[in-house]
Amino acid sequence: MPERKDQERFIHIIVSVAALGGLLFGYDTGVISGAILFIKKSFSLSPQLQEIVVSAVLVGAVIGAVTGGRLADRFGRRRLIILSAVIFSIGAVATALTPLISLLIAGRIVVGIAIGIASFIAPMYISELAPARVRGSLVSVNQLAITVGIVVSYLVDYAFSGLGAWRMMLGLAAVPSIILALAMWRLPSSPRWLVARGSMDKARNVLGRIRRSSEIDAEVKEIERSLEKQKGSGVLLSHPMLRMALFVGIGLAVFQQLTGINTVIYYAPTIFEFAGFKTAGFSILATVGVGLVNVAFTLLAIRLIDRVGRRPLLLVGVAGQIVGLVILGLAFQLHQLARFIGYIAVASLAIYVASFAIGLGPVFWLMISEIYPLKVRGAAMSLATVVNWGVNLAVAVTFLTLVGAVGRPGTFWIYAGIGIAAWLFFYFLVPETRGKSLEEIEDHWHAGKHPRELSRQPGRE
Ligand code: BGC
């Protein structure tokens, strides 16, 4: 069926382009770990200023996520992706060329704003174009791109570290961002956003390129019908179960970060140093290894997420993170294990990251693109995203202080304890969205049903 093949190819192009947003997200959060070593020398930075340079991106991301939601509802997903790519390019070039530390910090905030926007707009755009039966894996391609971006940034840091070329490290991000802006220009708007705006013909045109002709009418009708139900203001808070959707999204956002993933992504070399590895070479190698485990298990999640569903991956994943953290804490606590601590640290971090990559990594961004009503999707996703970046920032700036205050074992056990709370939250409150259309998920909230009942209904696709 050539029509079908062409459509699939087109969807894959759309997903690959939009996921460049994820690549930039990963690259720009990872690149600073290596670059900061040289920036510090160039500008003779105090530890406080170094911290500011590193966390400026996170502050920017919070700003971007706050402002992005309403823009997404108003101007559309496609335009907002283009805008974020343009902001990325400006930030990347500015940070690469700046003669002043103040401009470097400002540039990092600008880059952060773009990341904050891209982090939720790319999953939203993909989710609204994807057929329900493969939506999980298509949206998770964005998470894959984040993990690839992180590994690429480590490798670029490594490649340029001999020359100390931190400007190259930061500036290179301009290349994919320019490609993203140009490629996105040629791609269609989200059909759901078009229907919400009343642009029916355009929506049908877009659907005509990605769905069988027999499916188009039914899909447009279904979107219209669910919009009809959302008439009236304050829709997001008007219904207890919609408040529940908001609560679930925020819970996922908090726990994705509060279980400590970015202490590993940002501080893996420090953790390996705690475990007795002194050579920089080993630290870099082990850090790249952690990054590759992240990529590999995200690939596995992509294969599984539409087959076994979101909930099993989430629950197994968080359980695995808890196991990794408990072992890591034990390794630091028990003196009998001192001889093996290096190996145990590597193995437990690998278990921990692999578990994040099959669960909370992809599932958080996917779920927040699925569970909110179309009419307020931008605003609601942006709220969950703000919380995610805000907690990310809080964990990043408190990790070393926490280690100082409660010790290494205590720190990892605190994250493990939060993991247990996360597991219970997910078990009782997270719905199974596998195979459901976005409109079926909305209907479920409007019917006032509990999130967990969703999985028990037969899907329509
Ligand atoms: C998280 C990031 C994290 C990354 C690691 C993303 O889903 O939001 O905070 O650094 O995964 O792969």
pLDDT tens digits, residue range 129-146?
999 999 999 999 999 999
38 CA distance to ligand 1 middle (Å) = 25
398 CA distance to ligand 1 middle (Å) = 18
Q: Give the pLDDT of residue 341.
A: 83
Q: Give the pLDDT of residue 233.
A: 46
* Predicted confidence band of residue 238 (pLDDT cuts 50, 70, 90): low
CA distance 375 to 365: 19
Most informative mutation of 261, 349, 363 for ligand 1 (most atoms within 8 A of CB): 261
The mean per-residue pLDDT over the stretch 311-339 comes to 92
* Predicted confidence band of residue 114 (pLDDT cuts 50, 70, 90): very high
pLDDT in tens, 240-279: 777 899 999 999 999 999 999 998 888 887 788 778 877 6
* Ligand 1 lining (C-beta closer than 6 Å): 29, 143, 146-147, 256, 261-262, 265, 294, 361, 365, 392
Q: Give the pLDDT of residue 61.
A: 97
**What percentage of the chain exceeds 70 in pLDDT?**
96
Question: For residue 55, is pLDDT > 70?
Answer: yes
**What percentage of the chain exceeds 90 in pLDDT?**
69
* Predicted confidence band of residue 395 (pLDDT cuts 50, 70, 90): very high
Nearest CA to ligand 1 atom 6: 361
Q: Give the pLDDT of residue 429.
A: 96
Backbone angles phi, psi at 256, to 5 degrees: -60, -35
46 CA distance to ligand 1 middle (Å) = 28
Q: Give the pLDDT of residue 121.
A: 97
Q: Give the pLDDT of residue 331.
A: 87
* Predicted confidence band of residue 461 (pLDDT cuts 50, 70, 90): very low
Structural contact between residues 419 and 351, judged by C-beta atoms closer than 8 angstroms: no
Question: For residue 346, is pLDDT > 90?
Answer: no
Q: Which CATH superfamily is domain 2-187+229-456 in?
A: MFS general substrate transporter like domains (1.20.1250.20)
The mean per-residue pLDDT over the stretch 12-33 comes to 94
Q: What is the value of pTM for the model shown?
A: 0.94
* Predicted confidence band of residue 236 (pLDDT cuts 50, 70, 90): low
